[in-house]
Amino acid sequence: MRRNLLSHVRRVVIKIGSGVISGDDGLDNAIIGGIVGDVAELRRQGYEVVIVSSGAVAAGKGDLGIIGRPRTIPLKQAAAAIGQSRLMRSYKEALRPLGLTAGQVLLTRDDLANRRRYLNARNTLMTLLEYGVIPIINENDTVVVDEIRFGDNDNLSALVTNLVEAHLLVILSDVDGLFDSDPGKNPGAQLIPLVERIGSGIEAMAGDSNSHFGTGGMVTKIRAAKRASLYGVGTAIINGRTPKILLRFFAGEELGTYFLPARDRMAAKKHWIAFTKKPRGKLFVDDGARNALVSKGKSLLPSGIQGVEGGFDRGDAVRLCTLDGTEFAKGVINYTLPELLRIMGKKSSEIEGILGYKYGDEIVHRDNLVLDSQDQD
């Protein structure tokens, strides 16, 4: 069955966790070399490969005398500044004897939240693939602040899967996959080979574990799989420290946990709105407006808006809420906050008379709107 699930795959995003390529003394170059060897063979078999790699902080923290995870953001950023070049050097040195070249791409959430920069990043990555270069992507930890962080590289890998229109996301972890209970505490824990739908039960099963070196645990991997699933892409979680694991997986061995893609694929633009653009404010709408959006697939008009919160410009993302504060959707707004304060509660036909101009009848067009039911259980 696994071979059939992979038969359509030609472009794959491989996320490599800190726990896979890091040890107490820094990077494990033997593991990196093994993974790169598998990637080279996959290239020879006709696959296009994009790597999202953690490990910069783990590679640089030793120079600062840090044991374990850095406790503050400045320490983490300093460790990343030291370790990122070391991480790339390890990949380049492993790829060079195999006749392959690595291209470093450092991203922040802000890069992908801006549609123009999003498309520019996509064009860069597609050009690297066209010329046979292996893109190696990481979050730009050295300069990133909380407002523009992806949060973890599991999340980043899911967004990159959408960005490059990959057919599969493979997450290399330091565990064999998703178990029905914590294998560290329960010797009888069973590996779950296939997940057809990622519901609340699956997320709860993932527990609350965190990596010793990174920011992600199984929960973040499940969330990444869910996001990729909504874009119509399957995800595999396999043990990256197992020799030849990628070659065995792509040969069809039943390894790790495979998450099937959702039946109803979310359009690329809506996936970008749902998961990449960070909301800058909230709009509070009445029951009639909510019903029109949720049940009838309509756009949000000014007449249904009863209140606003935050600060936003035209083109920013906002959360849509009921009057009691319950969030139910996210969308891209067509008007600035000062403009909206003047026209909310009014009819669309009154907009031009109030502002002296008009961008459209809709405050949030239905094509730029994602309901929470589309990205949650």
The answer to whether residues 262 and 300 belong to one domain is no
The CATH number for 329's domain is 2.30.130.10
Per the annotation, does 26 bind a ligand? no
Q: How many C-beta atoms lie closer than 10 Å to residue 246's C-beta?
A: 25
Tell me the percentage of the chain whose pLDDT exceeds 70. Answer: 94
Q: Which residues make Cβ contacts (< 8 Å) with residue 282, sequence separation at least 6?
A: 308, 309, 310, 318, 319, 320, 321, 327
The answer to whether residues 169 and 185 belong to one domain is yes
Per the annotation, does 330 bind a ligand? no
The answer to whether residues 67 and 203 belong to one domain is yes
Residue range 132-153: mean pLDDT, rounded: 74
Token pair recorded at residue 213: 């070196």
Confidence of residue 377 (pLDDT cuts 50, 70, 90): very low
Last residue of a domain, one of 237, 270, 303: 270
Indicate the pairing of strand 234-239 with strand 168-173.
parallel
- DSSP letter for 56, please: H
Per the annotation, does 221 bind a ligand? yes
The answer to whether residues 293 and 255 belong to one domain is no
Residue range 124-150: mean pLDDT, rounded: 80
CA distance 153 to 160: 10
CA distance 116 to 226: 26
Per the annotation, does 295 bind a ligand? no
Last residue of a domain, one of 250, 270, 290: 270
pLDDT at residue number 85 = 92
Q: How many domains does the chain have?
A: 2
Lowest-pLDDT choice from 62-66, 171-175, 293-297 = 62-66
**Do residues 252 and 279 lie in contact, with contact meaning Cβ atoms separated by under 8 Å?**
no
Per the annotation, does 211 bind a ligand? no
Last residue of a domain, one of 270, 292, 319: 270
The answer to whether residues 255 and 325 belong to one domain is no
Per the annotation, does 218 bind a ligand? yes
Token pair recorded at residue 264: 């109803």
Confidence of residue 212 (pLDDT cuts 50, 70, 90): very low
Q: What is the pLDDT of residues 305-342, one digit of tens each?
A: 999 999 999 989 999 999 999 999 999 999 999 999 99
Q: What is the pLDDT of residues 88-110, one digit of tens each?
A: 999 999 999 999 999 999 998 77
The answer to whether residues 249 and 330 belong to one domain is no
The SS3 assignment for 306 reads strand
The answer to whether residues 219 and 301 belong to one domain is no
The answer to whether residues 254 and 296 belong to one domain is no
The answer to whether residues 311 and 258 belong to one domain is no
The answer to whether residues 262 and 168 belong to one domain is yes
Per the annotation, does 15 bind a ligand? yes
Per the annotation, does 257 bind a ligand? no
Confidence of residue 150 (pLDDT cuts 50, 70, 90): low
Q: What is the pLDDT of residues 356-371, one digit of tens each?
A: 999 999 999 998 999 9
Confidence of residue 374 (pLDDT cuts 50, 70, 90): low
**357 lies in which domain range?**
278-375
Per the annotation, does 277 bind a ligand? no
Q: Measured between alpha carbons, how far is residue 33 from residues 37, 47, 105, 268, 310 in Å?
A: 6, 19, 20, 34, 48
pTM: 0.77
Residue 130: closest CA among 39, 13, 11, 42: 11
pLDDT beyond 80 at 258? yes
